[in-house]
């Protein structure tokens, strides 16, 4: 029921009728606070989750409109001479008021979303309504929206920018992770076109970013700093614990390891001890970061869903692993389940682990269920850390898309559990 409602509300915020160009995705219909903008990051993530729910015919309609809008935005005059502009107004112009610029995760996520669509179309021999060079081309004068974003990543990845919460300037784990993933997937498109020069460039830059990502891991504390090399914006984070690190892992295709699982546990434990609803009601609500002061610093639907998605995806990845060791998991990783201390799990131990992981994922789902409007299925941006009532921007599009992404991951995990 919630899946149906989430899809309904998400559709209402995609290609809104009062926008000048089709494909315009509002972050929320809310005007107080004013979220009636097309955020590059939010829109890319929304389209990525929507992709899984569309028929082939619908994919072509929705994604061709989105790809045309991307071209419009890439060629729109902005406050900065780069593709790192943050958001656009419904008339197609960029928002030019004071803001944290640039935000370079947007082009990376945008290219990842379009690459998934483009490769799907090619592998299934489908025909889209746009010319081929709209997406990728060796001709520097063509549109090539995917190539433009990928080349931008290569050019700027070493530069400081603002984080996905639009508050801190520096080097960000989330941004670097999605930039690396975009280049990794971008190599496939470049090779498809015989563009070996770009493929080599994307690969070498991907390897550079991966090497740089090692700097984010705090060995003594066993979690990834959300930001390093701070150079501007709000300097309120003292711990640099941030759920953005979990969001980052959900965007990549590589298996998790002990460091990512240590990080997950550290983030979840931090919020379990921070919010009254978690301590008093035994919930698993997650916010952005412990020092957050926006609207009082509350849990977000999309972040709680992201934690559930992380665990459900782990069910699939653990199931596909031949050898499972206790060294992959920190102590007390799954509440109430003692992970066997062995170098290789037996088939029975593996099944027990899969069941425990699935149940753990459901704890985040149950938390969301407690705070959704059960009459309408509405999900806003946040819910109060003490009393659980919704607040901030109403009908946040990203809340619905995060729920849908979690649901798809759960569906896949559930099939595995039922087979076992």
CA distances from 99 to 20, 250, 317 (A): 23, 27, 39
Q: State the DSSP string of 217-243.
A: EETTTTEE-SEEEEEEE----SS---T
* Strand ranges (E), 243-348: none
- Residue pair 147/74 in contact (Cβ under 8 Å)? The answer is no
| Structure tokens belonging to residue 324 | 């499972």
Of 3, 166, 203, 291, the active-site residue reads 166
Is 166 tagged catalytic? yes
Residue among 174, 179, 102, 186 nearest 144 (CA): 186
Residue 288 exposed, middle or buried by CB count within 10 Å (0-12, 13-18, 19+): buried
Is 85 tagged catalytic? no
| Structure tokens belonging to residue 36 | 């009636």
Of 163, 242, 292, 363, the active-site residue reads 163
Residue among 151, 377, 116 nearest 251 (CA): 116
Residue among 31, 115, 106 nearest 67 (CA): 115
Catalytic residues: 163, 166
């Amino acid at each position: 029921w919630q899946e149906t409602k989430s899809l309904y509300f998400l559709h209402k915020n995609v290609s809104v009728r009062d926008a000048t160009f089709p494909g315009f995705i509002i972050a929320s219909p809310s005007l107080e606070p004013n979220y009636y903008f097309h955020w590059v990051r939010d829109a890319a993530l929304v389209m990525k989750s929507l992709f899984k729910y569309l028929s082939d015919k619908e994919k072509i309609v929705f994604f061709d409109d989105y790809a045309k809008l991307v071209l419009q935005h890439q060629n729109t005059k902005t406050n900065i001479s780069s593709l790192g502009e943050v958001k656009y107004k419904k008339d197609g112009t960029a928002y030019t008021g004071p803001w944290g610029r640039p935000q370079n995760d947007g082009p990376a996520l945008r290219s990842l979303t379009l690459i998934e669509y483009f490769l799907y179309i090619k592998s299934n021999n489908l025909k889209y309504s746009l010319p081929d060079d709209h997406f990728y081309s060796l001709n520097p004068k063509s549109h090539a929206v995917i190539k433009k974003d990928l080349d931008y990543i290569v050019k700027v990845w070493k530069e400081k920018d603002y984080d996905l919460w639009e508050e801190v300037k520096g080097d960000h784990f989330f941004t670097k992770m999605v930039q690396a993933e975009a280049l990794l997937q971008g190599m496939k498109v470049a090779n498809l076109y015989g563009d070996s020069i770009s493929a080599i460039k994307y690969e070498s830059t991907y390897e550079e970013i991966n090497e740089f990502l090692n700097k984010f891991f705090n060995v003594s504390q066993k979690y990834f700093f959300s930001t390093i090399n701070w150079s501007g914006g709000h300097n309120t984070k003292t711990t640099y614990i941030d759920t953005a690190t979990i969001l980052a892992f959900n965007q990549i295709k590589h298996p998790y390891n002990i460091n990512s699982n240590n990080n997950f546990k550290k983030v979840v434990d931090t919020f379990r001890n921070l919010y009254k609803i978690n301590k008093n009601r035994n919930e698993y609500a997650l916010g952005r970061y412990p020092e957050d002061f926006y609207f009082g610093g509350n849990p977000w639907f999309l972040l709680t869903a992201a934690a559930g998605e992380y665990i459900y995806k782990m069910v699939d990845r653990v199931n596909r692993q031949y050898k499972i060791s206790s060294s992959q998991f920190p102590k007390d990783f799954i509440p109430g389940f003692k992970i066997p201390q062995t170098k290789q799990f037996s088939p029975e131990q593996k099944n027990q682990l899969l069941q425990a992981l699935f149940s753990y994922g459901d704890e985040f789902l149950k938390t969301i269920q407690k705070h959704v409007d059960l009459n309408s299925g509405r999900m806003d941006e946040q819910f109060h850390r003490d009393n659980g009532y919704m607040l901030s921007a109403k009908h946040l599009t990203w809340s619905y898309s995060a729920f849908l992404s979690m649901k798809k991951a759960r569906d896949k995990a559930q099939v595995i559990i039922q087979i076992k």
